[in-house]
Structure 1
């Protein structure tokens, strides 16, 4: 049950996140759909390639494609006056998608009985891969490389799930809420990882 829930939540959240970025960049309707779909499924496609699954696995998710297209359509039809703060909506959907797909990616790797390192990588790529593709297509610096902590929360989820100290849907929902909350707090409070700037003379 948890697998389907996280798949649906992540698909809707990232589809809307991509659609919002496309609208901010003033893309046409086709661009809105394209960026929304790429954001929703890009992370899963990258994950599948790295863990050895065929690309055609993506096409078995017909229902998820329909859900993504329906979500984008409904959001596109919402009058702009009802959505005054596009940036906040985009960040919220991005945080929800990151959390849902990080958990889903880790679950996928555990199901395949992959080592914990692969579970962490699957969580990071599934959670942030679609957003990276989205930002690159929109000619933006990928969110995962910005100042706020982003992919580390997905890696943390992968580590916890990969250790398998606790199992069950309730445990997975708790991780989802924690990752989403930490991501939101990251961009609200400007939490950053250590960094070092090289000075070029």
Structure 2
């Protein structure tokens, strides 16, 4: 049940995030749906391939496809509900999707008895993969490749779950809220990772 809840939350949040990016870029209705679906399912598809699940697993998530479709449709019909102002709405939707999918990806890898590193990678790819694909398709530099802290929170989520520090649902929900807070707080505080510099002779 916990896994399903995080899947639903992550799917809806990332579908909305992708739709908002598409609308900001002035995509047509078809483009808005495509970017929303890519954002919602892209990270999970990449994760599934790397941890050994068949690609066909993606197409078995019928209920999640409906959730993504409904979420995007609501944004298209009532854009002012969430897209004004766009940047704040996009940040919150992205933070919720990051936290929910990072937890879902980590739980998935842990259920298959993968190593701690594999759980961290699964959390990172599930939490960040859809956003990376979204930004690339929208012609933007992906958050995860910037100095801004983004993917690190997903990896941290995998570390915590891999170490068994969130084995109970209440702890998972606390982790969910904590990652959302850290993502938004680090954005507003402009926390950054070191950026290596090239030195030319």
Q: TM-score, normalised by structure 1?
A: 0.96
| 3-state DSSP of counterpart to 2:52 | coil
Q: Is the CA contact 1:17–1:93 (under 8 Å) kept in the aligned structure 2? A: yes
Aligned-pair CA distance for 1:186: 1.4
User: Residues 42, 22 of structure 1: CA spacing in aligned structure 2 closer, same or farther, 3 A cutoff?
Assistant: same
Whole-angstrom CA distance in 1 between matches of 2:165 and 2:179: 18
Q: Is the CA contact 2:12–2:71 (under 8 Å) kept in the aligned structure 1? A: yes
Aligned: 1:16 with 2:39 = no
Q: Is the CA contact 2:144–2:150 (under 8 Å) kept in the aligned structure 1? A: yes
Deviations 1:95-129 (A, max 9, x none): 00000000000000010111111000000000000
Aligned-pair CA distance for 1:80: 3.8
In structure 2, list runs of 5 or more residues that go unmatched: none
| 3-state DSSP of counterpart to 1:194 | coil
In structure 1, list runs of 5 or more residues that go unmatched: none
Whole-angstrom CA distance in 2 between matches of 1:9 and 1:41: 13
Deviations 1:65-105 (A, max 9, x none): 00000010011111548742111111110000000000000
Q: Is the CA contact 1:147–1:190 (under 8 Å) kept in the aligned structure 2? A: no
Q: Is the CA contact 1:9–1:97 (under 8 Å) kept in the aligned structure 2? A: yes
The corresponding residue for 2:48 is 48
The corresponding residue for 1:150 is 150
Q: Map 1:1-201; keep pairs closer than 5 Å.
A: 1-80=1-80, 83-200=83-200
Aligned-pair CA distance for 1:196: 2.1
Whole-angstrom CA distance in 2 between matches of 1:104 and 1:127: 8
Whole-angstrom CA distance in 1 between matches of 2:95 and 2:165: 25
Whole-angstrom CA distance in 1 between matches of 2:16 and 2:155: 23
User: Residues 166, 94 of structure 1: CA spacing in aligned structure 2 closer, same or farther, 3 A cutoff?
Assistant: closer
Q: TM-score, normalised by structure 2?
A: 0.96
RMSD between aligned residues: 1.3
Whole-angstrom CA distance in 1 between matches of 2:53 and 2:82: 42
